[in-house]
Structure 1
Amino acid sequence: MEAKLCQSCGMPLSSDEVRGTNADGSLNDEYCTYCYQHGAFTQDCTMDEMIEHCAQFTEEFNKDSEIKFTKEQAIAAMKEFFPTLKRWQAKG
């Protein structure tokens, strides 16, 4: 089974603790808690702003990954990947 990813930042939705919440307090199946809480996005930002924000965590990502990215490589990969995520498909 394919892992679910946050449709805003691409973070794996690996447990209920990292899942965002809907307006009624129920867990959201599409977005992480860092991007989505109480039925709304936590940040009003562009896709490029989200990529810059996520790039700060490249070293942390590398700790748990077999492939090690430089910050520049991570940004390039996100610029290709993020347009496939639901949040950014409508905005481009």
Structure 2
Amino acid sequence: MKRNVLGLLALIAGAGPAVASATAGPFVCDRAKPEAMLQYLQKHKPTLEQARIALSCTYVVGPRDITTAEIRTDNSRLYPRYDEKRERIVTGTFH
């Protein structure tokens, strides 16, 4: 029993850093740097779900999302522009 528990703990301990490094990327979302966010979109061409995960500091507006029309100067909403198949985001604008 003790050997099984130690083996299980070794597996869990070994899997921890691999999972963390797989989800962490070099891109850091910062609303003060909208150009960096747009460059990320142009380089990676994410889907809507992937963009919402990567750009967690801002709200990526989807095609069926309803938003209000007030003027925002804090880059808190990104209105994406899609490729010709409307599957991947290639750029966008902040409002």
TM-score, shorter chain, exceeding 0.5: no
Return the index of the structure with the highest Cα Rg.
Answer: 2
TM-score normalised by L of structure 1: 0.28
